[in-house]
Chains A and B, each alone.
Chain A
Amino acid sequence: MISVVLLMAMLLFLGILPNSLSILAFSAIIIILIYQYPVLFLRPVIIYLFSICLGSLSLLFPDNPFSQYLLSGIMGYGVMVIVMFVGVLPNSLTLTRVIKKHRGELSILTFILITPHVINHLLILKTINLFGVVAFVLMVPLTFISFKVIKREISSIDWNRIQKVAYLVYISLFIHLVYVSSYDNKIIYAILFTLYVNNKILKEVKK
């Protein structure tokens, strides 16, 4: 497993993958780390602080090639793909159960890792895409209610209803990605979204 992580990290380090495959490589790294080393997520605050530091550094040094993974949102999308797909995987899998335990932390991490991408486009590049803005704005309440302190205060019915907004986020992010990405990346995003929708429908029908 660790060899797969190293292979993915090397591919990301070399920067030879297109954006869509970089997202998948980053997702694979996170999934393996959660599955093999769940102890890493015992103190999520440390990961949040580490991500905030990484985001700040990427904004301070935008010319660094590794900053592009944060500034183009690849790391954020990578975590979001996990949050998305864990909802459609069968609950009988051990992997699903392990990841579902940390789904809230992962969605907070998505928000933290996407924020440098948003700040970069809003303040530095000044090129905004409406669907991206909509997705980010909708992510704000979802992130807030993912914190365990706030989750405890809200009734579970309300919490579940608000979580349904996540589907709007997925749709607007997909449209955003299709708008801004190159042709080869568009195909991979379309395959991923079709897989998600297909499996989600199947899962809902089976309920």
Chain B
Amino acid sequence: MSLLEKFIVSFMVFLALYIVISLSLRLFEITTAYYSHMIGGIVAIIVGMLVFMYLLVAKKK
């Protein structure tokens, strides 16, 4: 997998998580709009970065 593909995969994970978390927090009215974006953003960045790091570090078998 090239660097660009690794980036695209982790970016997709980031976007999907961000949308799912922030939308669900707003739909179920758990938080305000500000906090829904903040929580979604932080969780999505952490997971997205972990996926990117994993793809970078993982060796081909």
Contacts and interface: CB of A to CB of B under 8 A. Distances in A.
Interface of A: 122, 126, 133, 137, 140-141, 144-145, 150, 153-154, 158, 161-162
Given A141-B53, A154-B57, A158-B3, 12 more contacts: A126-B34, A133-B41, A137-B45, A140-B45, A141-B49, A144-B53, A150-B56, A153-B56, A154-B56, A158-B56, A161-B3, A162-B3
20 contacts: A122-B38, A126-B34, A133-B41, A137-B45, A140-B45, A140-B49, A141-B49, A141-B53, A144-B49, A144-B53, A150-B53, A150-B56, A150-B57, A153-B56, A154-B56, A154-B57, A158-B3, A158-B56, A161-B3, A162-B3
Contacts of A140: 45, 49
Contacts of A133: 41
A60 B53 CA distance: 32
Contacts of B57: 150, 153-154
B14 to A, nearest CB: 9
B44 to A, nearest CB: 10
Nearest to A133: B41
Contacts of A137: 45
Contacts of A145: 56
Interface string B17-32: 0000000000000000
Contacts of B41: 133
B contact face: mostly helix, strand, loop, or mixed: helix
A63 B29 CA distance: 34
Contacts of B49: 140-141, 144
A153 B57 CA distance: 6
Nearest to A154: B56
A123 B42 CA distance: 12
Contacts of A150: 53, 56-57
A127 to B, nearest CB: 11
Interface in B5-61: 34, 38, 41, 45, 49, 52-53, 56-57
Nearest to B6: A158
A145 B41 CA distance: 21
Contacts of A161: 3
Q: Which of B3, B56, B57 has most A Cβ within 10 Å?
A: B56
